[in-house]
Amino acid sequence: MKKLLFMILAVVMVVALFAACTPEPVAPVEDVVEDVVDDVEEVVDEVVDEVVDEVVEEPSGYELAMITDIGDIDDKSFNQGTWEGIVEYAEANGVTHKYYKPTEKSTDAYVAAIDLAVAGGAMVIVTPGFLFEPAIFQAQDMYPEISFILLDGFPQDGTYTEFRIEANVYSIFYAEQQSGFMAGYAAVMDGYTKLGFMGGMAVPAVVRFGYGFAQGAEYAAAQMGIDAIELKYHYTGNFDATPENQTMAASWYGAGTEVIFAAGGKVGNSVMAAAEAADGKVIGVDVDQGSESDTVITSAKKELAISVQQGLAGYYAGEFKGGVSEVLDITVDAVGLPFATSRFNQFTQADYDAIYAALVADTDGIASAILGDADVAAAGELPLTIVSVTVFE
């Protein structure tokens, strides 16, 4: 053992000797070491200057930046959908791009990540999720020359007292209630009468999915003349695959629930695990999750990728929708079901096209009658007559 150590030491010394003879790479290191001995602060300043120089000198940097919301870039859901849109656009147009993951879930960390992105040369920063609202509220003033695309949110001061959008921010909302509506409609039209909804945290987008789901089921039931639909309704309070979520889903399937709409990132995987064991069905969320499990009959999608690309295209065409906040709904194909990969029994393409067209045209006010998260306080208060909602805290 000792011999080995000596050998290693000897090798290290020899290498060091040779290294000392070759001037270029080692000399600056030695300088730095001397500086450290002389004055630590000076070195720190130098290093900082160097880094800043590099950033300034490098004209390209990463022009498109995305800051991830809680969850990861490959969450098969919100972050991933957004990022795929950015990547696709960037690669098609030869733009540099990079994503940044905040160190924690806090406005400070989000602002720090934005700082980092700007220092990295970002011109456009995409931030998915309403949690970014206060961060963008601050950043829009800090970086007036940078453009921001905020998904699912409107800049506010963090206390919901002051709302303000500057000319460098484009805020996008989605009509998730329409997507959920179609999922609920399709499920009931396909013959399911005992439904479940398991959302993640009760954030506005998730709530809209849930409300839409209940109302879509109601609409289909009325159309088909069904007199009773059961809907179990729960927010898990997390976006993770846990045994708790799996157990709850399993207990619902055990109690007769036929299909569960899982609107909460990885919560869906727990529901799928339960569905596979209990022969139940699952409805996915955000992106087409049909490939993750054979139990997924369809997914309530929102076209994150497409809308991000449209926003970016607008920016590069000099028509950035700065200062605009808009809700992307079915009229611009921003929400829908992936019919081609869905596993329906009775619900046909014609049925889907009919309800889609009716929603787009707002026939008999069908689309505008769908209530969103701001319209009612809880799922139990939705004006439903056929669907009986049982909310579990």
Partner 1 sequence: MNSVYFLVQQTMFFSIPLLVVALGGMFSERGGVVNIALEGIMIMGAFASIFVISVLQDTMQGQLLLIIAILVAVAAGMIFSLFHAYASINMKANQVISGTALNMFAPAFATFVARTIQVTKSINFNNTFRIESVPLLGDIPVLGQLFFQNTYLTTFLGIAILIVSAFVLNKTKFGLRLRACGEHPQAADSVGINVYRMRYAGVLLSGALAGLGGLIFVIPTSTNFNATVSGYGFLALAVLIFGQWKPKRIIIAAFFFGFMKTLASAYTGIEFLSNLGISSYLYKMIPYIATLLVLALTSKKSQAPRASGIPYDKGLR
Q: How far is the CB of 86 from partner 1 (least distance, A)?
A: 16
Which span (83-91, 215-223, 245-253, 368-376) binds partner 1, by CB under 8 A?
Answer: 245-253
Q: How far is the CB of 179 from partner 1 (least distance, A)?
A: 23
Say how far apart CA 204 and CA 202 lie, in whole Å.
7
Q: How far is the CB of 24 from partner 1 (least distance, A)?
A: 32
Which span (37-45, 161-169, 208-216, 232-240) binds partner 1, by CB under 8 A?
Answer: 232-240
Do 333 and 353 touch, CB atoms closer than 8 A? no
Burial of 141 (0-12, 13-18, 19+ CB in 10 A): exposed
Q: Is 138 or 242 the residue whose CB approaches partner 1 more closely?
A: 242
Residue 228 tokens, joined: 């009773």
Q: Is 275 or 300 the residue whose CB approaches partner 1 more closely?
A: 275
Do 392 and 234 touch, CB atoms closer than 8 A? yes
Near partner 1 in 22-81, by CB under 8 A: 72, 74, 76
Q: Is 243 in the site for partner 1 (CB under 8 A)?
A: yes
Q: Is 235 or 347 the residue whose CB approaches partner 1 more closely?
A: 235
Nearest Cα residue to 174 out of 81, 242, 258 = 81
Neighbour order of strands in the sheet with 147-151: 97-100, 64-67, 124-128, 147-151, 169-174, 324-328
Which span (47-55, 160-168, 185-193, 241-249) binds partner 1, by CB under 8 A?
Answer: 241-249
The answer for residues whose C-beta is within 8 angstroms of residue 1's C-beta and 6 or more apart is none
Place of tokens 């696709």: 88
User: Quick one: which of 150, 272, 330, 370 contacts partner 1 (CB under 8 A)?
Assistant: 272
Q: Is 245 in the site for partner 1 (CB under 8 A)?
A: yes
Q: Is 292 in the site for partner 1 (CB under 8 A)?
A: yes
Q: Is 97 in the site for partner 1 (CB under 8 A)?
A: no
Q: Is 116 in the site for partner 1 (CB under 8 A)?
A: no
Say how far apart CA 332 and CA 178 lie, in whole Å.
12
Q: Is 251 in the site for partner 1 (CB under 8 A)?
A: yes
Q: Is 273 in the site for partner 1 (CB under 8 A)?
A: yes
Residue burial 319-333, b: 16+ Cβ < 10 Å; e: rest: ebbbeebeebbbeee
Q: Is 35 or 88 the residue whose CB approaches partner 1 more closely?
A: 88
Q: Is 251 or 341 the residue whose CB approaches partner 1 more closely?
A: 251
Helices (H), the chain: 2-21, 23-38, 40-57, 78-93, 107-119, 133-142, 176-189, 204-224, 243-254, 267-278, 304-316, 349-361
Say how far apart CA 351 and CA 357 lie, in whole Å.
10
Q: How far is the CB of 303 from partner 1 (least distance, A)?
A: 21
Q: Is 337 in the site for partner 1 (CB under 8 A)?
A: no
Helix pair angle (23-38, 40-57), 10° resolution:
130
Distance of CA 160 to the CA centre of its chain: 22
User: Quick one: which of 215, 270, 307, 309 contacts partner 1 (CB under 8 A)?
Assistant: 270
Q: Is 293 in the site for partner 1 (CB under 8 A)?
A: yes
- Judged by CB under 8 A, the number of residues near partner 1 is 33
Q: Is 194 in the site for partner 1 (CB under 8 A)?
A: no
Q: Would you tell me which residues interact with partner 1 (CB under 8 A)?
A: 72, 74, 76, 232, 234, 240-248, 250-255, 257, 266, 269-270, 272-273, 276-277, 292-293, 390, 392-393
